[in-house]
Structure 1
Amino acid sequence: MVLFDGHVHTPYCPHGTKDALHRYVEKAIQLGFKGLTFTEHAPLPESFVDPTPNQDSGMNLGQLEEYLIDIRNLKKQYENEFMIFAGLEIDYIEGFEEESINFLDQYGKELDDSILSVHFLKAQDGYHCLDYSPEAFEQLLRVHGNVESVYELYYQTLQKSILVDLGAYKPKRIGHITLVMKFRKRFPNPNINKMAIQSILRSIAEHEMQLDYNGSGVAKPLCGEPYPPDWVIDESLHYKIPLVYGSDAHQAKEMGRGLNRLKKNAPLVRPV
């Protein structure tokens, strides 16, 4: 097992803390990790209107170069003792593929690693951020009528993110594939479509992508399990999908969270 955290946020996150980059690194070293990827939320497409109340889902485009410079400087500081990758968490937003391609074409060559995630769903009344809050999730339920329909929309969007051509710098890892279950204790879904998840895993395997084994769900009171849970990990191992642990830390003290709840036999790797 490789102790590498492939999903770490930074002070450049508008909805995180201002913990300095080196604090994440020092905490990771203290926990016995060999490296990490800083994966700040990438700037959202310019023409996309962030549906969250504070419109703070992605970092400011004007700060991106500074972010990359800070990581380069940190790499030099720790080059003999700790592996640091520069990365981003890219949002797949249905209908904004062209802008995502243009962004990746411009900045992808400066990244060592990246994650492709689905946070926004295109619903009948516009876009919704599915993980912002229980109340925001409930709005999706009202639009779609029931929890099963929201799950299906998430699976369909996730599948599109895997299959879409985003150019040469498309991320090679899919983020927290069961994020739709973040509020499962308040909005239980008794009819989980396991075939849909298996289809997603097959697509990840066929496209030789990695999977973000995300421990942050353990700390979410309405979730209480990793993204994804054990049975999905069992399926991913069947398809021989490489698993990269991610704390999804938005402050230094969250490094390593959920690690003790991952499957004991799950072989963790570092990003490719």
Structure 2
Amino acid sequence: MLIDYHTHHARCGHAEGNLEDYVKRGIEIGLSQLGLSDHMPLIHVDPATYLPGMAMPMEEMPFYVEEALELKDKYKGQIDLRVGLECDYIEGYEDQIASIIKQYPWDYVIGSVHFLGTWDVSDYRQLDGWNNRDVDEVYRQYYDAVQKAARTGLYDFLGHIDMIKRFGYKPSGDMTQLERQTLDIIQASDTAIELNASGLRHTANEMYPSPSMLEYACQIGVPITIGSDAHQPERLGENLNLALIELKKAGYSQIATFCSRERRLISF
């Protein structure tokens, strides 16, 4: 079984292709399950004054879900579509996030940390945010946010949990203890994580999470799924063959799938 649970499309403003383009591509490459998981609308910054193309507008949410559900029915028997949302964790906005999640019939919700305050650490246009900052402290802030996201219980799995390494800024200190503490909290919260293959095309040149984190996650029993984080239809499934190899190396033999927010483990 080949699955891809992390994808984006044109509604988010920084991806290409419509939902049906991804569905057709998924059928073409032989996906068994395709997860549609576009970005939650911005809630803690003003979309009108923030940088453009960060996430889908709030008014597009119902149309996104409606279209995804229609495609799920249209292509039934050809590909198993799962309707999801990549839902930012923003400290202090937990109630608003929960409200958005509860409005729609998701198959799964990804909890991702992109923002530290109003700084999107995943945006190449905001690299000046690293200026005059202590890299080690940024890493500590990032993992603190990931830990808090896990503790909320709002999410089915956490996305790219060490994405802070994306642009190649490396801490001077050893982060192993902090990484393991984060994974311990994720395990205790009964939340899964993803192996996100997109890091191979970023400056980090490494999947999210790193092999050492992946191995520890397996040791302590953290469930895992996989995703390409495709922002173009042609990138759907990209490097997921390598992701499966990494999972086997780390000791995993099962992948988490989700339907109506219930987790099921399947062998691979």
Q: How does 1:205-216 map to 2 (within 5 A)?
A: 205-216=187-198
Rounded to whole Å, the distance in 2 between the matches of 1:67 and 1:253 is 20
* Residue 242, structure 1, aligned to residue 223, structure 2: yes
* Residue 77, structure 1, aligned to residue 74, structure 2: yes
1:258 equivalent in structure 2: 239
State the percentage of identical aligned residues. 27
CA contact (8 A) 1:219 1:257 kept: no
Note closer, same or farther for the CA distance 1:16–1:4 as it changes in structure 2 (3 Å cut).
same
Rounded to whole Å, the distance in 1 between the matches of 2:200 and 2:50 is 25
Note closer, same or farther for the CA distance 1:218–1:203 as it changes in structure 2 (3 Å cut).
same
Normalised by the length of structure 1, the TM-score is 0.86
Structure 1's unaligned 5+ residue stretches are: none
Note closer, same or farther for the CA distance 1:52–1:197 as it changes in structure 2 (3 Å cut).
farther
- Please state how far the C-alpha of 1:51 moved relative to its aligned partner: 10
2:176 equivalent in structure 1: 194
Report the 3-state secondary structure (helix = DSSP H, G, I; strand = E; otherwise coil) of the residue aligned with 1:269.
Answer: strand
Rounded to whole Å, the distance in 1 between the matches of 2:151 and 2:121 is 21
1:128 equivalent in structure 2: 119
Note closer, same or farther for the CA distance 1:217–1:50 as it changes in structure 2 (3 Å cut).
farther
CA contact (8 A) 2:214 2:247 kept: no
1:104 equivalent in structure 2: 101
1:41 equivalent in structure 2: 39
Q: How does 1:81-230 map to 2 (within 5 A)?
A: 81-107=78-104, 110-122=105-117, 127-133=118-124, 136-142=126-132, 145-164=133-152, 170-184=154-168, 187-220=169-202, 222-230=203-211
CA contact (8 A) 2:187 2:221 kept: yes
Rounded to whole Å, the distance in 1 between the matches of 2:20 and 2:53 is 23
Rounded to whole Å, the distance in 2 between the matches of 1:94 and 1:158 is 10
- Please state how far the C-alpha of 1:155 moved relative to its aligned partner: 0.6
1:5 equivalent in structure 2: 4
CA contact (8 A) 1:11 1:20 kept: yes
CA contact (8 A) 1:141 1:147 kept: no
Which residue type is aligned with residue 174 of structure 1? Answer: L
Task: Write out per-residue CA displacement over residues 69-103 of structure 1, whole angstroms, 9 at most, x where no aligned residue.
Answer: 11111111111121101111001111222221222
Q: How many residues align?
A: 253
Which residue type is aligned with residue 106 of structure 1? Answer: Q
Of 42, 61, 65, which aligns to 1:64?
A: 61
Note closer, same or farther for the CA distance 1:234–1:10 as it changes in structure 2 (3 Å cut).
same
Structure 2's unaligned 5+ residue stretches are: 264-268
Rounded to whole Å, the distance in 2 between the matches of 1:150 and 1:14 is 27
Note closer, same or farther for the CA distance 1:118–1:264 as it changes in structure 2 (3 Å cut).
closer
Report the 3-state secondary structure (helix = DSSP H, G, I; strand = E; otherwise coil) of the residue aligned with 2:45.
Answer: coil
Which residue type is aligned with residue 205 of structure 1? Answer: Q
Which residue type is aligned with residue 126 of structure 2? Answer: A
Normalised by the length of structure 2, the TM-score is 0.87
CA RMSD of aligned residues (A): 2.0
Structure with higher RCO (Cα < 8 A, 6+ apart): 1
Which residue type is aligned with residue 248 of structure 1? Answer: D
